[in-house]
Chain A
Amino acid sequence: MSKPRIKFPETAKAGNIIEIKTLISHVMETGQRKDAEGKTVPRDIINSLVVSFAGQEFFRASLQPGISANPYISFYLRVPGPGDIRFIWTDDAGNSTIEELKLNVA
């Protein structure tokens, strides 16, 4: 998995609701497709994204092969105050990509 892209406002006020946008490169192979020799290409997808603020989970996406390649996912957070937002993407092989970003509160 490549380095994901994450976007949210640089500063927010406590109590504000902010949108968080994420994008990660991945083929999201459905397991339905056949290759040139007629063999089924095995399923290989990112099946989850778990997001927490200061250790508290606030969003979880469970993904199926119906999600497009290079999954884009956006969602919201009610800003409790300054803290770190942690993102964990996990694929079918059990590999995880973890990102942690600071949320600045004005």
Chain B
Amino acid sequence: MRLEIVDRRDFLVGAAAMAAVSIALAGPCAAQDRQQPLDEALKKIMGDAKPVDGKITLELPEIAENGNTVPFTLSVDSPMTEASYVKALHIFASGNPQIDVASFAFTPLSGRAAASSRMRLAKTQDVVAVAELSDGKFLLGKRTVKVTIGGCGG
């Protein structure tokens, strides 16, 4: 009988803790795919310019099992000379609570317009990349990543 009471108490304490965890997670994880902040972020970089044709490569897994650490590589084929180079690459996670992830700046000395890192993805979403070219033009790229376990920081 005594044992039974202890078990029940443990269960209740456990359940309360679980509830607290889900409340804590509700904020960031409840984030919707939000087009508006993405549009604003792109406008901040591109102004009123429209992206031109050209290839920006986003290497990302199709399915990310762990959203806490998703490897990515951004690259653009460019001669990387004073006359023509990629000034910057920006990456955005459209479904994260904060959509900007990183910006990488290059010079002709970089030799290649490419950078790799690892990002957090809260859930399945589109990852968007923008390349800023030395002639003032922009390239835009997008990849969808399915996330099995979200990187909600819980």
A-B contacts, 9 of them at CB < 8 A, read: A30-B98, A32-B27, A32-B97, A60-B104, A61-B103, A66-B93, A71-B118, A73-B117, A75-B114
Please report the total number of A residues contacting B with Cβ < 8 Å: 32
Please report the total number of B residues contacting A with Cβ < 8 Å: 38
Q: Within 8 Å of chain B (Cβ to Cβ): is A89?
A: no
B110 touches A75 (CB 8 A): yes
Complex interface: chain B residues within 8 A of A75 (CB) = 104, 106, 110, 114-116
Q: Within 8 Å of chain A (Cβ to Cβ): is B107?
A: yes
- Give the one of B23, B114, B117, B152 with max A CB within 10 A: B117
Q: How far is the CA of A32 from the CA of B152 in the complex (A)?
A: 8
Q: B134 → chain A, closest Cβ, in Å?
A: 14
Q: Within 8 Å of chain A (Cβ to Cβ): is B49?
A: no
Q: A50 → chain B, closest Cβ, in Å?
A: 9
B28 touches A61 (CB 8 A): no
Q: Within 8 Å of chain A (Cβ to Cβ): is B109?
A: yes
Q: Within 8 Å of chain A (Cβ to Cβ): is B45?
A: no
Q: B58 → chain A, closest Cβ, in Å?
A: 14
